[in-house]
Structure 1
Amino acid sequence: MITVYSPLRISFAGGGTDISPFYERYGGAVLNTTIDRGIMIRYEDDGSSLEVSSRDFLRTALISTNNRTMENKIIDMFMENGINTGRVIMNSDVPPGSGLGSSSALINGILKMINAIKKRNVDPYELAKESYLTEKDKFNIILGKQDPYAISIGGLKYMEFRENVDSTQKFDLSDPFVKDLQSSILLVYTGNTRESSRSLQDQVTKSEHGDEQTMENLNKIKHLALEMSKAISAHNRNEVCNIINEGWNIKKSLGANVTNQRIDEIISYAKENGAKSAKLLGGGSEGFILLIGEKNGIDSLQRKMMLKSDFVIRVRFDNCGTRVINNYI
């Protein structure tokens, strides 16, 4: 039995600048963290035909099935590495497609699992690169580079992406300011999920055609990621909140499906009841809304937000990326 855990991530600033073709032309920058919610993947070789099952999709796939679902494509990944028998069981702490990088967490975890079965040690950056290419080419997902890298590396960090160079600056999670920040965060579920590729397609199309307004807005968002890094280093809580709000206002202009009436209503209600900043996570239209509340006011804010959503959660930052948590083979 092998068990792999792959954490989910939240992005504070810079999201969208890590998506091709923008980051290849101008360079992208993001600030994100992995959290203590994630995807658990278990594998046991029982000698029978390879089976992949997911509680979240309520679906099972076998090696002999021809339907090209995500589960079958995962089976292909195992078979390409000579793994033809056993059971793969996948469970997530949140619904798929909710803006927390769940598809990257899943693919990261599957690749980590395959490498563990084959007794191969892979550097987190190598794992991230393979995960990114797998999602983009095998699964045809439009995604930002930050997701596989953030999840593979773990921690609260500022990241820069260029065509051939990637760099990471991690923050100390034991820093009192960082601990205070994480204790002020709520995630509010909008009630629905979405396919990220659809939400991001409008931005990608505009970037490919060199739309001037889109390029200008993405460059502003990239600058905000650097400013967020400086604000955290300077322990400037007000600036952190202001940057999140400014970034969300710019992001709403990137595509027609970034926000909707329900999201706007939740964010407005949150700010009326103590939230200092708010933004939708992920590509847009549905998923989780990130809130930062006032110091010592998270309990009150959570109770009030539960009047708007059935799923309102506190989170902790996770300093580790995708990892094997037990291995009995």
Structure 2
Amino acid sequence: MSEFILSRAPFRISFGGGGTDVPPYCWEHGGAVVSMTVSLYARTVLRVLKERKMVLRSLDLGLEWSSGLGKAEYDGQLDLLKAAVNEFSPRKGFELTTHSDLPPSSGMGTSSSLTVSLIGCLAEFTGRKLGTEEIAEMAYHLEREELGQEGGYQDQYAAAFGGLNFMEFGRKGVRVEPLSLRPETMELFLEHLCLFSTGEIFLPEELRGLAARRRREKRKGIHREMVERMEEREYLSHLHSLKRMAVEM
């Protein structure tokens, strides 16, 4: 085995349907998203160590953690890296370093791209063979179920599959349909596509509003219930519109 293993996964931009991939909406109504990955990446570098220890490092966050081989306990520091390591349980010592072409919380699926990159690197290190869909499913499991982070499905699948895709989400799973554009159409499209950084930190909870609040709050009283129902109808109407936009593309 090589002394170093390198892995990367692209970030994505969404053109329509963002938010409809988030449960419970996608389970109850079905979600649809059109997204495309770009040439900006989350990167993972693994260096094999002779010592039976593990070193985790994030250059973006300026954090480092080390321990003997075994299960890593979550403490709010590098938990995403620890979750990936726990999933694979390496038996050899290693040093894992991550860095990204974009700052964290940029609103382009940065954490999910990092998770996919981590999975690819650790799968190679441990000799575990994973398909593209398996990588996406594992990334979703680690972020949403293992660590309990709020969010949907599109980021993990976009990072794992790459390219321009139409994705549908429901209780039965996720369907990814690659979209093909003629070279001249793609060239014209890219000539008119600009990506800007505002310097603002993207907080998913601000956009998921009701979906997250419904799980965190218990509202009481008739008036409160009426307001909640009105908010839900308005929220669902917006999500239905976003889904139609993705489907019509």
Same fold (TM over 0.5): yes
Give the 3-state SS of the residue equivalent to 1:90 in structure 2.
Answer: strand
Residue identity over aligned pairs, in percent, reads: 25
Q: What are the within-5 Å matches in structure 2 for residues 263-278 of structure 1?
A: none
Give the 3-state SS of the residue equivalent to 1:187 in structure 2.
Answer: coil
Aligned to 1:151: 159
Answer whether contact 1:63 1:72 (CA < 8 A) is retained.
Answer: no
1:95 to 2:99 alignment: no
1:2 to 2:5 alignment: yes
Tell me: CA distance 1:206–1:82, structure 2 relative to 1, closer, same or farther (3 Å).
Answer: closer
Give the 3-state SS of the residue equivalent to 1:193 in structure 2.
Answer: coil
TM-score by length of 2: 0.84
What is the alpha-carbon distance in structure 1 between the residues aligned to residue 153 and residue 65 of structure 2? 29
Answer whether contact 1:4 1:109 (CA < 8 A) is retained.
Answer: yes
Aligned to 1:40: 43
Tell me: CA distance 1:207–1:23, structure 2 relative to 1, closer, same or farther (3 Å).
Answer: farther
Tell me: CA distance 1:140–1:200, structure 2 relative to 1, closer, same or farther (3 Å).
Answer: farther
1:177 to 2:181 alignment: no
Answer whether contact 1:21 1:207 (CA < 8 A) is retained.
Answer: no
Give the 3-state SS of the residue equivalent to 1:172 in structure 2.
Answer: coil
Tell me: CA distance 1:19–1:201, structure 2 relative to 1, closer, same or farther (3 Å).
Answer: same
1:138 to 2:184 alignment: no
Equivalences, count: 227
Tell me: CA distance 1:171–1:96, structure 2 relative to 1, closer, same or farther (3 Å).
Answer: same
- Where structure 1 has 5 or more consecutive residues not aligned to the other structure, the ranges are 229-329
Q: Could you say what the CA RMSD is over the residues aligned between the two structures, in angstroms?
A: 2.1
Aligned to 2:55: 51
Aligned to 2:210: 203
Aligned to 1:219: 240
What is the alpha-carbon distance in structure 1 between the residues aligned to residue 181 and residue 66 of structure 2? 42
2:116 to 108, 113, 120: 108
Give the 3-state SS of the residue equivalent to 1:51 in structure 2.
Answer: strand
Give the 3-state SS of the residue equivalent to 1:126 in structure 2.
Answer: helix
Question: Any idea what the Cα deviations from partners look like across 1:54-112, whole Å, max 9, x if unmatched?
Answer: 11101111126866134245235324523252111111001010011001001111111
Give the 3-state SS of the residue equivalent to 2:196 in structure 1.
Answer: strand
Question: Which amino acid counterpart does residue 212 of structure 1 have in structure 2?
Answer: R
Tell me: CA distance 1:14–1:72, structure 2 relative to 1, closer, same or farther (3 Å).
Answer: closer
Tell me: CA distance 1:214–1:95, structure 2 relative to 1, closer, same or farther (3 Å).
Answer: same
Question: Which amino acid counterpart does residue 171 of structure 1 have in structure 2?
Answer: L
Aligned to 1:82: 89
Give the 3-state SS of the residue equivalent to 1:190 in structure 2.
Answer: coil
1:20 to 23, 37, 51: 23
Which range moved further: 116-125 or 165-174? 165-174
Question: Which amino acid counterpart does residue 183 of structure 1 have in structure 2?
Answer: E
Which range moved further: 113-122 or 11-20? 113-122
Answer whether contact 2:84 2:142 (CA < 8 A) is retained.
Answer: no
Give the 3-state SS of the residue equivalent to 1:95 in structure 2.
Answer: coil
Tell me: CA distance 1:87–1:31, structure 2 relative to 1, closer, same or farther (3 Å).
Answer: same
Question: Any idea what the Cα deviations from partners look like across 1:184-209, whole Å, max 9, x if unmatched?
Answer: 2111111122342x324413147777
Give the 3-state SS of the residue equivalent to 1:144 in structure 2.
Answer: coil
Aligned to 1:231: none
Give the 3-state SS of the residue equivalent to 2:144 in structure 1.
Answer: helix
Q: What are the within-5 Å matches in structure 2 for residues 279-294 of structure 1?
A: none
What is the alpha-carbon distance in structure 2 between the residues aligned to residue 170 and residue 207 of structure 1? 34
Which range moved further: 111-120 or 26-35? 111-120
What is the alpha-carbon distance in structure 1 between the residues aligned to residue 85 and residue 212 of structure 2? 33
Question: Which amino acid counterpart does residue 210 of structure 2 have in structure 1?
Answer: Q
Aligned to 2:222: none
Answer whether contact 1:207 1:215 (CA < 8 A) is retained.
Answer: no
What is the alpha-carbon distance in structure 2 between the residues aligned to residue 8 and residue 217 of structure 1? 25
